[in-house]
């Protein structure tokens, strides 16, 4: 197991817990999806897995070691977090943003060097955004910004990629391209990826595993074919009108 | 162009501008001092070494300090309108220093003037208040940040005013003298004392340049990339308060320097904080030397407070930034 969450609880300040005993384990080289209704705790769980939040109870393990025991820079070489793209205040260039992904590898008072630049440019090319390199991030569309954010995470050369709704701002073509990119990366580098998504049509057959969250815990998990069923989805989304249908090797999902 | 080349180029340009500003600063004044005059006239020599040169040094130290802190605060809060003045840091420092002056704390403790310490404490209190009010989860609300800064400034200014009225008249005069921001402190003694405290603070702040570069983009991403956000935050608040506190204790509230200079640096040299921070430092020194020289020679019969000059330049600049930002966010 590369990344594990064991009976993790978390609450913001003194409010009711939003994560209630979440347990999941990710095998190396898995492309996993995290699904669930709004407010079920997906983004919070991803932040916990990234080490950005500390659980109130339970533990997070990276390669069997407790996450808080790993120095920040070491952690940043292994885990990359891709947030929902937010607009930036200052007009940094795209390449400047992607280069920050190399920070965990260069000493504090050093600039990124030529090899870092090559890796950053490759990361941009991987997400089909090489042409954006010298554009200002403040001028990009939401979808383009999302690809830049993903490129930065790839420049980290992580072993685990945690993506918080990366497909939300993307059109049909780019959503499909994103999933293909993640699958290719998994095959080529053995990266493990967890992607929060509301787009259930993306999951089958590209993803290896689906984790379904409800009220702060994992209520169902397995290959897409097992999780994407009328009964499971009706309970996860609390919607008895969810229907699924298999067409070829895909699963279509809708609510009547 | 590699980042190292960009840094060297930016530093070379800023240093050249600073050198020109120094020459202008030592020349300009009630009496124009030329090299020839310096060789032959003992009075001109005395004016040059005891008045003109320390004043230029003080302007350089103050301008560099306010600018580098402005650049750091803008990055840390991801707010292009942040600077020591707009966030109330200078105001807090001024109130702290006023208390020290009003109580007659002219003494030094361990070589550090008490007024420095009082001013630092005021600046730190202001930073913490403004930050507490503006912070909401992982987000620092930009509007609340600036509003809180303005209000802290007003409260501090009112506090200073009360002190001026209730304190002895000679001390009240002393307080009034620098509330407008003025650099006519004479002699190198105070410049050395400042340098002793400020140099380590500047150097440590520079070591946070990369962390600030990442924070300028996004706080959580910076954390995910290995930045110790909490430690950086504490360091930035503490160092900003020390640096602004000491400069305010000597020069008073000199507004908007920390706003104008980092923007100019970003415009000329790009957004990378590892370049913006040191070039703002040098360019800030140059800027305040020139502003102070203008304050000395603008009106033939008298000398203007340099704080008035920077505010007259910086206020409109702030408003221009504000309208530009509104237009951007409307798009």
| pLDDT tens column, B226-248 | 999 999 999 999 999 999 999 99
Q: Over the stretch B38-52, which tens digit does the pLDDT of each residue have?
A: 888 888 888 888 888
Residue B255's pLDDT is 86
Average pLDDT over chain B reads 88
Stretch B98-111: mean pLDDT, rounded? 75
What confidence tier does B326 reach under pLDDT thresholds 50, 70, 90?
A: low
State how far the alpha carbon of A155 is from the alpha carbons of A50, A127, A201, B149, in Å.
Answer: 16, 11, 28, 38
Residues of B (158-217) whose Cβ lies below 8 Å from A:
207, 210, 213-214, 216-217
Give the least confident one: A106-110, B308-312, B323-327. Answer: B323-327
Answer whether A247 touches B (CB < 8 Å): no
Contact B67, B266 (CB under 8 A): no
How far is B176 from B196, CA to CA, in rounded Å? 26
Residues of chain A with C-beta less than 8 angstroms from the C-beta of B137: 12
User: CA nearest A166: which of A195, A134, A193?
Assistant: A195
Report DSSP state, residue B32: P
Interchain pair A90, B2: CB under 8 A = no
Residues whose CB is less than 8 angstroms from the CB of residue A180 and which lie 6 or more positions away in sequence, other chains included: A206
What confidence tier does B331 reach under pLDDT thresholds 50, 70, 90?
A: very low
Residue B329 has pLDDT above 70, yes or no: no
Residue B183's pLDDT is 79
Residue of B nearest to A141 (CA): B331
Q: Which of B213, B217, B223 sits opposite A88 (nearest CB)?
A: B217
Interchain pair B217, A90: CB under 8 A = yes
Residue A251's pLDDT is 87
Q: Cα torsion for B166, B169, B174, B176, to the nearest 10°?
A: 60
Number of other residues whose CB lies within 10 A of the CB of residue A234: 16
Interchain pair B266, A90: CB under 8 A = yes
pLDDT along chain A (256 residues), means of 10: 94 88 94 93 95 94 94 96 86 95 91 94 95 94 92 96 90 90 93 94 90 94 92 90 88 87
pTM of the model: 0.92
Q: Over the stretch A137-196, which tens digit does the pLDDT of each residue have?
A: 999 988 899 999 999 999 999 999 999 998 888 888 889 999 999 999 999 999 999 999
Residue A161's pLDDT is 97
Give the least confident one: A106-115, B3-12, B26-35, B177-186. Answer: B177-186
Number of CB pairs, chain A paired with chain B, less than 8 A apart: 76
Residue B292's pLDDT is 92
Please tell me the number of Cα atoms within 13 Å of A20 on its side-chain side: 12
Give the 3-state DSSP-derived string for chain A, with helices as H, strands as E and coil as C: CCEEEEEEEECCCCCCCCEEEEEEEECCCCEEEEEECCCCCHHHHHHHHHCCCCCCEEEEEECCEEHHHCCHHHHHHHEEEECCCCCCCCCCEHHHHHHHHHHHHCCCCCCCCHHHHHHHHHHHHHCCCHHHCCCEHHHCCHHHHHHHHHHHHHHCCCCEEEEECCCCCCCHHHHHHHHHHHHHHHHHHCCEEEEECCCHHHCCCCCCEEEEEECCEEEEEECHHHHCCHHHHHHHCCCCCEEEEEECCEEEEEEC
Residue B185's pLDDT is 64
Residue of B nearest to A91 (CA): B271
Q: Which of B213, B218, B271 sits opposite A86 (nearest CB)?
A: B218
Residues of chain A with C-beta less than 8 angstroms from the C-beta of B221: 81, 83, 100, 149, 152
Residues of chain B with C-beta less than 8 angstroms from the C-beta of A73: 226
Q: Which candidate in B5, B225, B227 is best for mutational testing of the A interface (most A CBs within 10 A)?
A: B225
Contact A194, A46 (CB under 8 A): yes
Count each helix (H run) and each strand (E run) in chain B, helices first: 15, 4
Q: Over the stretch B18-40, which tens digit does the pLDDT of each residue have?
A: 999 999 998 887 777 788 888 88
Rounded to the nearest 5 degrees, what angle is found at the Cα of A152, between the Cα atoms of A135 and A172?
A: 75
Answer whether A86 touches B (CB < 8 Å): yes
Residues of chain B with C-beta less than 8 angstroms from the C-beta of A97: 217
Answer whether A103 touches B (CB < 8 Å): yes
Contact A197, A165 (CB under 8 A): yes
Residues of chain B with C-beta less than 8 angstroms from the C-beta of A91: 271
Residue B17's pLDDT is 97
Determine what percent of chain B is predicted with pLDDT higher than 90: 50
Interchain pair B218, A83: CB under 8 A = yes
Interchain pair B271, A96: CB under 8 A = yes
């Amino acid at each position: 197991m590369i990344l594990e969450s064991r009976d993790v609880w978390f609450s913001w300040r003194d409010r009711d817990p939003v994560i209630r005993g979440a347990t999941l384990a990710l095998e190396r080289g898995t492309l996993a999806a995290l699904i669930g209704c709004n407010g079920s705790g997906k983004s919070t769980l991803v932040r916990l897995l990234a080490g950005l939040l500390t659980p109130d109870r339970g533990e997070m393990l990276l390669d069997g070691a407790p996450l808080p025991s790993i120095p920040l820079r070491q952690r940043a070489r292994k885990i990359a977090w891709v947030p929902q793209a937010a607009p930036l205040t200052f007009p940094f260039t795209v390449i400047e943003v992607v280069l920050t992904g190399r920070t965990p590898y260069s000493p504090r008072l050093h600039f990124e060097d030529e090899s870092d630049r090559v890796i950053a440019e490759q990361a941009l090319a991987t997400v089909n955004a090489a042409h954006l390199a010298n554009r200002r991030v403040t001028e990009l569309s939401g979808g383009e910004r999302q690809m830049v954010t993903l490129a930065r995470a790839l420049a980290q050369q992580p072993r685990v990629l945690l993506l918080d709704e990366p497909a939300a701002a993307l059109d049909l073509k780019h959503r499909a391209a994103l999933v293909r990119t993640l699958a290719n990366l998994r095959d080529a580098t053995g990266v493990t990826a967890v992607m929060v998504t509301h787009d259930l049509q993306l999951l089958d057959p590209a993803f290896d595993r689906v984790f379904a969250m409800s009220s702060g815990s994992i209520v169902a998990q397995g290959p897409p074919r097992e999780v994407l069923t009328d009964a499971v989805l009706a309970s996860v989304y609390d919607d008895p009108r969810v229907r699924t249908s298999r067409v070829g090797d895909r699963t279509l999902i809708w609510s009547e | 162009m590699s980042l190292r080349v960009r840094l060297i180029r930016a530093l070379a340009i800023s240093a050249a501008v600073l050198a020109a500003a120094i020459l202008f600063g030592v020349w300009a004044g009630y009496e124009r001092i030329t090299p020839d005059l310096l060789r032959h006239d003992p009075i001109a020599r005395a004016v040059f070494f005891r008045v003109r040169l320390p004043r230029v040094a003080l302007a350089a130290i103050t301008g560099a300090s306010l600018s580098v802190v402005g650049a750091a605060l803008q990055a840390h809060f991801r707010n292009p309108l942040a600077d020591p003045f707009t966030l109330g840091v200078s105001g807090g420092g001024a109130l702290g220093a006023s208390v020290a002056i009003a109580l007659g704390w002219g003494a030094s403790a361990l070589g550090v003037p008490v007024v420095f310490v009082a001013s630092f404490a005021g600046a730190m209190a202001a930073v913490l208040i403004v930050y507490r009010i503006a912070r909401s989860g992982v987000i620092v609300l930009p509007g609340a940040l600036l509003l809180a800064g303005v209000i802290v400034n007003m409260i501090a200014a009112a506090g200073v005013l009360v002190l001026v009225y209730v304190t002895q008249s000679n001390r009240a005069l002393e307080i009034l003298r620098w509330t407008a921001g003025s650099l006519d402190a004479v002699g190198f003694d105070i410049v050395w004392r400042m340098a002793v405290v400020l140099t380590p603070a500047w150097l440590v702040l520079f070591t946070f340049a990369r962390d600030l570069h990442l924070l300028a983009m996004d706080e959580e991403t910076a954390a995910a990339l290995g930045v110790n956000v909490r430690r950086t935050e504490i360091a930035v608040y503490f160092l900003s308060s020390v640096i602004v506190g000491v400069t305010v204790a000597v020069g008073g509230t000199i507004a908007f320097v920390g706003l104008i200079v980092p923007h100019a640096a970003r415009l000329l040299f790009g957004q990378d904080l590892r370049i913006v921070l040191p070039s703002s430092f040098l360019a800030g020194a140059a800027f305040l030397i020139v502003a102070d020289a203008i304050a000395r020679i603008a009106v033939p019969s008298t000398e203007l407070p340099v704080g008035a000059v920077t505010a007259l330049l910086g206020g409109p600049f702030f408003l221009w930034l504000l309208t530009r930002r509104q237009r951007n966010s409307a798009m």
